[in-house]
Structure 1
Amino acid sequence: MITYLVNFTLCSALLLLAYHLLLVNKTMYTFNRVYLLLSILFSLTLPFIVVKQTIVPLPSIQPIQEQLQLSPDNIVSKAIPVHATPTIHAIADHQDINYTLYALIAVYGIVTLLLLFRFVRNLNTIRLSILDRESVVYKNARLILVDERLTPHTFLNFIFLNKHDYTNQQIEADVLLHELTHASQRHSVDVIFIELIQAFCWFNPFIMLYRKAIQLNHEFIADEAVLSNNHNIANYQHLLLSKLACVKSLNITSQFNYSVTKKRLIMMTKTTSAATAMFARLAIIPVIAIAFILFCTKTEAQQDPVANKPAAKSTPQKTEQAATKTSKTLLPPIFLSKDYPHTKEGVPDALLKEYNDIAGKYEESSERLMRHPEKISQADRDKMEAIFKKMSYKQQCDQSIGFTYNGPPLSPKHPTQAQIDIWKNPKTCGVWIDGKKVKNDELDNYKPADFGLAMVSRLTKNAINYKNYRYQIDLMTVANYKKYLKEAQENRYHSGMYYNMRKAPADKI
């Protein structure tokens, strides 16, 4: 809903800006009238239009926890925690009531009802004025004669005039023609429409500007009708100026709007050539296209990147080998940094075989991961690291066990009290503080400011503790985080070992 409101507001602003830049000073008032009304309708409906975008998905990348098996002892000599992401997720086992949403709905409802009440009251005031006053049929309209001194104004086909002036024939013919134009062209229908839009969409500040532009354009249309019948522009301008003293009428009616009389006087002397008018109309087309692109609702439809290619005949074994080769080419290990030492020419096959023979000693299919770092002899580690640094970048990407630099230190992340309260539930969360598993109620002894780093990991269904809880919460106290930060900065460019499970042989994973 918020997206719709934003798109509606911005679209209406863009189309109104185009009106002021391209159309407002052109004597093409009927086109401008249609444009302003349709701009509002277009802005209201455009966000509901759904456009499907076909995308070709990239190969899926598994979570780091599934791709890599790391141990702090394998990265630096001292224990430094390594996590896939420092992002804190709010984990809730119940839904809180969103009182803010209800408050906003209540405010919207109250303001809308007040505006509708004002609208209905104005209509009723006009209705009573029509019923209580003397009326006279005049061409296709009815003249409502009132005792009060007021500006001649029109609502639907009712023209309100001062009774004394009309009886004594003091109402100029140009004034009557001006108001009769409002009545015959149903300008009041436009005003009623924009009043209703404003009542329901009062949050959009541009609706009021639309209303002013529409009512001003009505005056231009009526002035044009008068001047097409009476070509003496100077006399008509003097007539308008003589009426400035009388200003009483309702906003919902068409009237002499003297706050914009100066604009009306200027537009009376302007002309627009047919070529200029055509150019202005054509210039609106790209504006509408831009609005459509920016503010329609877009959805994504995935397309298989190989769906349109003819299927090649191959054995299942060849297909599997091709898939494995593709995955190795497109999916380098996430932790492998491009600035890690490597060579352009790479190492010969003999060294690659020696490297893989050493790595094979530490790959255990029963554990689905490599042996713990402490089980790797220092001699084997040093030999593998030396060969790995001589490999090309492509050769490094193809290894199931590799080396990389330690990442930059994790930025501080402080939990909120609401998150700590959620983490106290042992059915959904397992809690570690400074690397040690603790009972959830231990969090009662801590405040948010006591922690320098908080991380949340969602357990996969294969995880050992998945049956006990769904999230692992790793917390560092401020003191331990400072210690970690110092050590991480000192060991920023020390080599760490990783295990890329997606590169491992099938029988190893």
Structure 2
Amino acid sequence: MSEFLIKSAISMAALFLLYKLFLEKEKIHRFNRSYLLFSLIFSLCLPFITIPIYVSIPTISIENPVTVSNIVMSPQMEYGTVTNVVLQPNIVWALYSIVTLLLVIRFTINITRLYRLKKRNQNIPYKGATLVLIDNNILPHTFLNTVYISKEEYENQAIEPEVYSHELTHVKQRHTLDILFIELLKTILWFNPLLYFYKKAIQLNHEFLADETVIYKKNIISYQQLLLNRSQQKAPTAMLASNFNFPITKKRFVMMTKTTPKLRAAFLQIGTLPLITALILLLCTQANAQEPQLSDEAVAKLEKFRATDTEIKQFKENNPEAFSDNPEVAFKNTEFTFTDKKGNSVNKKGYANLNKAEKEMVKLSPVRGAGKLGFVEEQE
């Protein structure tokens, strides 16, 4: 889990920094929208991508193989001390679960509230969208294909055409889906501050897109004056909706008169690829060592010293206890040495003298609480 959080945070931070430094100030809004969404999805998937890189190891050569004529069975088994672990409630996970549950409830309530407003108030079809007339004094805002406006302003025809055009852009380009996506991520990864910066950038990008649609048909100066007048209105806004009075900043006004040459736009778009590639190489590659290979000469030498089937059969006949599944036979000539944590000998017993619990300790490892247990072949 910690690896996922670290890698995703590094990716989000690097991609967002690139956006703030080079992309946000350029008039390539459609690409920027795709880039921001891609940055989030890519960063969340990145920790699950592993690209193996195999590192070759030199072949092994054998100079002088040694023939072992007398084999003495002397198994050595070491086990570390095992302590009893008492499961404790994980305070961190409990806190995370509580906060996440509260945010999920808030997320659900906000969506339900918007649907209730639509159900309880008058609905009017309008150019592929639905206008919901609210009795209260509200600022125009959009959720999915629904535009919420003041009933009084609508009946008095006080809503400017630019406002309708602005909100319909949010509907047609489905900006609500972006907001729902980032809000869902904030609900699950609420402790990641980068998501809050991403949400502001996504919302500002939506306004750039809506402004671009309006000024394509209307005068820039009159539209800017309209934005300033509307920004003076004091009315509640919806958290999950695209609000008309999204904070008016110098960036929006400057962007209305800005142009980005096609060549520069193409260069900036292609320029994002090196960073994406670098993140993959940095965070996804894993070096794997290839198994060492014996040289042909070494294989030839080993063939000379390979035991024949007859030799293997004879060895098994001479050491039946080593191949027996019965512990009484397998450990017949074995002495068990019990040692403390420092490795000092505490007691020595043959298998026949072990009690039931000690025999289980031999069969089931690791040994609980006995420190270390060694097996030493009794020399006859």
TM-score, with structure 2 as normaliser:
0.73
- How far, CA to CA, are the matches of 2:217 and 2:24 in structure 1? 23
Q: Which residue of structure 1 aligns with residue 220 of structure 2?
A: 233
Q: Which residue of structure 1 aligns with residue 377 of structure 2?
A: none
Aligned residues: 302
Task: Tell me the amino acid that sits aligned with residue 139 of structure 2.
Answer: T
Q: Which residue of structure 2 aligns with residue 110 of structure 1?
A: 98
Q: Is the 8 A contact 2:80 2:372 kept in 1?
A: no
- How far, CA to CA, are the matches of 1:260 and 1:429 in structure 2? 74
Alignment match of 1:150 (pick from 121, 125, 138): 138
Indicate whether 1:294 and 2:282 are aligned.
yes
CA deviations 1:411-460 (Å, max 9, x no partner) are: xxxxxxxxxxxxxxx9663437xxxx5979xxxxxxxxxxxxxxxxxxxx
Q: Which residue of structure 2 aligns with residue 316 of structure 1?
A: 301
- How far, CA to CA, are the matches of 2:16 and 2:87 in structure 1? 35
- How far, CA to CA, are the matches of 1:271 and 1:219 in structure 2? 16
CA deviations 1:49-101 (Å, max 9, x no partner) are: 111121234899xxxxxxxxxxxxxxxxxxxxxxxxxxxxx95413524647x
- How far, CA to CA, are the matches of 1:150 and 1:274 in structure 2? 40
- How far, CA to CA, are the matches of 2:131 and 2:252 in structure 1? 25
Partner of 2:176: helix, strand, or coil? helix
Deviation for aligned residue 1:302: 2.4
- How far, CA to CA, are the matches of 1:122 and 1:315 in structure 2? 76
Indicate whether 1:195 and 2:183 are aligned.
yes
Alignment match of 1:168 (pick from 136, 156, 161): 156
Deviation for aligned residue 1:275: 1.0
TM-score, with structure 1 as normaliser:
0.55
Q: Percent identity?
A: 37
Closer, same or farther in 2 for the Cα pair 1:258/1:193, shift >3 Å? closer
Closer, same or farther in 2 for the Cα pair 1:306/1:438, shift >3 Å? closer
Deviation for aligned residue 1:205: 1.2
How large is the Cα RMSD of the aligned pairs?
Answer: 2.9
Deviation for aligned residue 1:162: 0.8
Alignment match of 1:431 (pick from 342, 346, 366): 342
CA deviations 1:121-148 (Å, max 9, x no partner) are: 0001101100111111111111111121
Closer, same or farther in 2 for the Cα pair 1:94/1:272, shift >3 Å? same
Q: Which residue of structure 1 aligns with residue 372 of structure 2?
A: 470
Alignment match of 1:245 (pick from 212, 232, 245): 232
Q: Is the 8 A contact 2:55 2:290 kept in 1?
A: yes
Partner of 2:51: helix, strand, or coil? strand
Q: Is the 8 A contact 1:54 1:303 kept in 2?
A: yes
Closer, same or farther in 2 for the Cα pair 1:214/1:317, shift >3 Å? closer
Q: Is the 8 A contact 1:33 1:214 kept in 2?
A: yes
Q: Which residue of structure 1 aligns with residue 82 of structure 2?
A: 93
- How far, CA to CA, are the matches of 1:300 and 1:212 in structure 2? 38
- How far, CA to CA, are the matches of 1:185 and 1:242 in structure 2? 26
- The structure whose Rg is larger is 1
CA deviations 1:8-47 (Å, max 9, x no partner) are: 1111111111111221011111111111111111011111
Q: Is the 8 A contact 2:179 2:199 kept in 1?
A: yes
Q: Which residue of structure 1 aligns with residue 121 of structure 2?
A: 133
- How far, CA to CA, are the matches of 1:428 and 1:104 in structure 2? 39
CA deviations 1:180-220 (Å, max 9, x no partner) are: 10011110011111111111111221111111111110000
Q: Is the 8 A contact 1:55 1:302 kept in 2?
A: yes
- How far, CA to CA, are the matches of 2:104 and 2:299 in structure 1? 71
Question: Which consecutive residues of structure 2, in runs of 5 or more, have no partner in the other structure?
Answer: 61-78, 306-336, 348-369, 375-380
Question: Which consecutive residues of structure 1, in runs of 5 or more, have no partner in the other structure?
Answer: 61-89, 321-425, 441-467, 473-509
- How far, CA to CA, are the matches of 1:3 and 1:191 in structure 2? 27
- Deviating above 6 A after TM superposition, structure 1's stretches of 4 or more consecutive aligned residues are 317-320
Q: Is the 8 A contact 1:430 1:471 kept in 2?
A: no
Closer, same or farther in 2 for the Cα pair 1:313/1:9, shift >3 Å? closer
Indicate whether 1:213 and 2:213 are aligned.
no
Q: Is the 8 A contact 1:55 1:301 kept in 2?
A: yes
Closer, same or farther in 2 for the Cα pair 1:315/1:147, shift >3 Å? closer
- How far, CA to CA, are the matches of 2:105 and 2:304 in structure 1? 72
Deviation for aligned residue 1:306: 4.5
Partner of 2:52: helix, strand, or coil? strand
Task: Tell me the amino acid that sits aligned with residue 83 of structure 2.
Answer: H
Closer, same or farther in 2 for the Cα pair 1:150/1:312, shift >3 Å? same
Partner of 1:160: helix, strand, or coil? strand
Task: Tell me the amino acid that sits aligned with residue 39 of structure 1.
Answer: S
Q: Which residue of structure 1 aligns with residue 44 of structure 2?
A: 44
Q: Is the 8 A contact 1:146 1:162 kept in 2?
A: yes
- How far, CA to CA, are the matches of 1:98 and 1:299 in structure 2? 34
Task: Tell me the amino acid that sits aligned with residue 170 of structure 1.
Answer: A
- How far, CA to CA, are the matches of 1:427 and 1:133 in structure 2? 82
Q: Which residue of structure 2 aligns with residue 11 of structure 1?
A: 11
